[in-house]
Amino acid sequence: MRPHLIFPALAFFAAVTLPVHAQTIFPINRADIVAGAHFDFKVEFAGVVDPKLVSVEINGEDYVKTLGKAAELISREDGKDVSSLLLRNVSIGRPGQYTITATDGTHTRSATWNVYATPKKRIAKNVILFIGDGFSIGHRTAARILSKGIEDGKYKGKLAMDDMPYMALLTTEGTDSIITDSANAAHAYTTGHKSCVNALGVYCSRAANTLEHPKVDTLTALAKRKGMAVGAVTNSEIEDATPAAMVAHTRRRSDYNDIVKMFYDSKIDVMMGGGSPNFLPKSTPGSKRSDDVDFIELFKLANYSLATSKTEMQAAANDASTTKLLGLYNTGNVDGALDLKFLKKGSVAKFPDQPDIVEEMQAALKVLSRNKEGFVLLVESARIDKYSHSMDPERAIYDTIMLDNAVARAKEWAKENGSNTLILVTADHSHPVSVIGTVNDELAGNEMRNKVSIYEDAGYPNYPRPDTDGYPSKVDVSRRIRLVFGATPDYYDTFQPFMDGEFVPAIKNASGVMVANDKYKDLAGAVLREGNLPNKGARAANQGVHSGDDVILTAMGPGAEKVHGQMENTDLFRIIAEALSLGNPDRPESNITRSKMVKRSRQ
């Protein structure tokens, strides 16, 4: 190395290795925090510290002055040679920039938070947030082609989610990676904070226990404090990442048993989806719990109506006395639209009376709107993502059409109920999917690859005219859409819809290598595709993966005008917080501002 390059190189080395030797502060640098929202404050020191040398200041004064109470200094966190300062459940009521400086006597680190107020006047009564899990532009285009059709070079109609006045590109990166999973992606929407893969309602600290990481307030907690009703409906397991982000605080999204308890503790008013086994005590056959807590019984005792089928759900929703509803319709995920309505595959034979998300949402609207203070409702079409992982285009497209149907009904509901509902439609992350043409069986030859029609040869697919819900009644048509996946394991490309059940592209072989699932190899025309994802080791991929592409947000209703340009996914939370005026200071009793207010009122 030439001498004059040594200094810059060392400086770079110091910069990239700095976190090892300095403090880590939670909430992290550049966090946006709504005034009055609760959070855990934690400073992680690089080693065991001398308490006499530790100093933590906020805006140049002892942190206690801002946060209202003293933290616990944990000398050896989790028995390791590291100390941490931890203060749970604090808040800051006054908006502004807050610079936190923490030193152990040797190393000093700073972070700045932006605490923002929300307008005093609330402009929206209700918020409906639609999340198409993994919903990408390719899905959107394919759904529009199938459900609207094209004539004279133009679509014959718009999707309900296209026909909204405001649009933005949301970026989805997290604190650890350019790629998010559904956990930290949904967490950004429901907390306004960035976090890392697999995390819900927490920052990713070094705590050993997944439930002990620094927590941040959820939309559910903030809305409930205002007296609003809150709901989450999905066709995944209710404990899955997106609905769980409404209530959960865990570093590990698969803590399903804990997440059920968090739903219960949150007092969320409506929750619907699959995933019943984690509600059942372990003594009940079919349970996945490791304890004997019967959450079905606990929810009933807390005045929730229980629905285990569409019929029961509709009866409960139509009962004017129902204000809390727990709907569990499947042991696993609720079946997607293609299986539920047309093919009757998946688990439809086992669970023949499952609602789709449109019906779930309509029931939820009836129940939630009984609260005169308004509501926040999350509606998730979860299996767009799951079917994109399994590389099953038609199932992903039908669940995109289902999402749009729910949006259409929500728009109608909002119009009929005072036009004071903010409606947001987005995805949590994307998949690398694209519409590249059609597959035309009528072309000569046996090689399916040469029946893939591109550019002008693609023409228009020949699906039958869609039904009133926008679904063509048949997917195995002779000229069908070609939606391709850009990141894959090895798999057999069959060039046709999976009429007998969801695709399972790859499975581990006896040597631990992920290989194409040979169940499909003898299908006429099937071709082995060598994948481009890892096939060995802990991260071997047996399915498609998320992409880091931006996602689209469309919006309408009060507050929607703030949706424009490129925004961070956390900005979506702020739009909701501002529309509902969630930022009014509401601080714990120990908080200094509250104490002052109390003192003043006594004077």
Partner 1 sequence: MLESCSISERERPTFSRRRFLMLPLLTFGTFWPLLARATEVLSFDVLYKSIGVLGIQYSDKALALRGKAVRMRGYMAPPLKPESKFFVLTREPVSVCPFCASDAEWPADIIVIYLNGTLAPVNFSHRIEVEGRLEIGSWVDPSTGFVSQVRIVDAEVRG
Residue ranges for the binding site for Mg(2+)? Answer: 133, 240, 242, 380
Among 347, 312, 344, smallest CA distance to 331 is for 347
| Number of shown-chain residues binding partner 1 (CB under 8 A) | 59
Residue 288 binding partner 1, by CB under 8 A: yes
- Beta carbon nearer to partner 1, 101 or 198: 198
Q: How far is CA 90 from CA 35, 359, 559, in A?
A: 11, 39, 28
- Beta carbon nearer to partner 1, 118 or 235: 235
- Beta carbon nearer to partner 1, 533 or 592: 533
At 103 the three-state DSSP class reads strand
> Is residue 139 a contact partner of residue 96, using CB atoms and an 8 Å limit?
no
448 Cβ contact partners less than 8 Å away, ≥ 6 residues apart: 439, 493, 494, 495, 525, 526, 527
- Beta carbon nearer to partner 1, 5 or 538: 538
Q: What's the rounded Cα separation, in Å, for the pair 508 and 522? A: 19
Residue 330 binding partner 1, by CB under 8 A: yes
| Interface of this chain with partner 1, residues 102 to 121, rule: CB under 8 A | none
Q: Which residues pair with 79 in a beta bridge?
A: none
Residue 344 binding partner 1, by CB under 8 A: no
Q: What's the rounded Cα separation, in Å, for the pair 3 and 493? A: 55
Residue 153 binding partner 1, by CB under 8 A: no
Among 32, 237, 493, 578, binds partner 1 (CB under 8 A): 237
Residue 227 binding partner 1, by CB under 8 A: no
Beginning with the edge strand found earlier in the chain, give each strand of the sheet holding 31-34 in spatial order: 31-34, 108-116, 96-103, 55-58, 61-62
Give the annotated binding-site residues. Answer: 133, 240, 242, 380, 385, 389, 428-429, 546
- Beta carbon nearer to partner 1, 228 or 244: 244
Residue 440 binding partner 1, by CB under 8 A: no
Q: Which stretch binds partner 1 (CB under 8 A): 72-80, 200-208, 512-520, 569-577?
A: 512-520
Residue 351 binding partner 1, by CB under 8 A: yes
**DSSP class of 200:** B
Among 217, 197, 191, smallest CA distance to 88 is for 217
Q: Catalytic residue among 84, 136, 147, 182, which?
A: 182
Q: How far is the CB of 431 from partner 1 (least distance, A)?
A: 13
Question: Is 478 an active-site residue?
Answer: no
Q: What's the rounded Cα separation, in Å, for the pair 248 and 452? A: 45
Q: What's the rounded Cα separation, in Å, for the pair 350 and 99? A: 57
Q: How far is the CB of 334 from partner 1 (least distance, A)?
A: 11
Among 427, 23, 137, smallest CA distance to 145 is for 137
Q: What's the rounded Cα separation, in Å, for the pair 452 and 326? A: 46
Phi-psi region of 426 (alpha: psi -120 to 50; beta: other; left: phi over 0): beta
Question: How would DSSP label each residue in 151-196?
Answer: ETTEESS--TTTS-SEEEEEE---SS-SS--HHHHHHHHHHS----
Find how far residue 341's CA is from the centre of its chain: 26
Residue 188 binding partner 1, by CB under 8 A: no
Q: Which stretch binds partner 1 (CB under 8 A): 51-59, 62-70, 283-291, 444-452?
A: 283-291
Give the annotated binding-site residues for Zn(2+). Answer: 133, 385, 389, 428-429, 546
Among 94, 158, 415, 519, binds partner 1 (CB under 8 A): 519
Q: Which stretch binds partner 1 (CB under 8 A): 261-269, 281-289, 356-364, 549-557?
A: 281-289
Q: What's the rounded Cα separation, in Å, for the pair 341 and 599? A: 62
Which uninterrupted H or E stretch holds 481? strand 479-485
Q: What's the rounded Cα separation, in Å, for the pair 51 and 71? A: 12
Among 95, 119, 332, 558, binds partner 1 (CB under 8 A): 332
Residue 430 binding partner 1, by CB under 8 A: no
Residue 540 binding partner 1, by CB under 8 A: yes
Among 48, 53, 499, 528, binds partner 1 (CB under 8 A): 499
- Beta carbon nearer to partner 1, 84 or 276: 276
Q: Which residues pair with 33 in a beta bridge?
A: 115
Q: Which stretch binds partner 1 (CB under 8 A): 105-113, 277-285, 421-429, 547-555?
A: 277-285
Residue 99, Cβ neighbours under 10 Å: how many? 13
| Interface of this chain with partner 1, residues 195 to 214, rule: CB under 8 A | 197-198
Site string for partner 1, 362-391 (x = CB under 8 A): ---------------------------xx-
Among 32, 40, 181, 212, binds partner 1 (CB under 8 A): 181
Residue 15 binding partner 1, by CB under 8 A: no
Q: How far is the CB of 39 from partner 1 (least distance, A)?
A: 26
Q: Which residues pair with 170 in a beta bridge?
A: 551, 567
Residues in the chain: 603
Q: Tokens 């998320």, residue? A: 546
- Beta carbon nearer to partner 1, 92 or 272: 272
Q: State the residues that interact with partner 1 by CB under 8 A.
A: 181, 197-198, 237, 239, 253-254, 256, 276-278, 280, 282-290, 296, 308, 328-332, 350-351, 389-390, 496, 498-501, 504-512, 515, 517-520, 522-523, 538-543
Residues annotated as part of the active site: 182
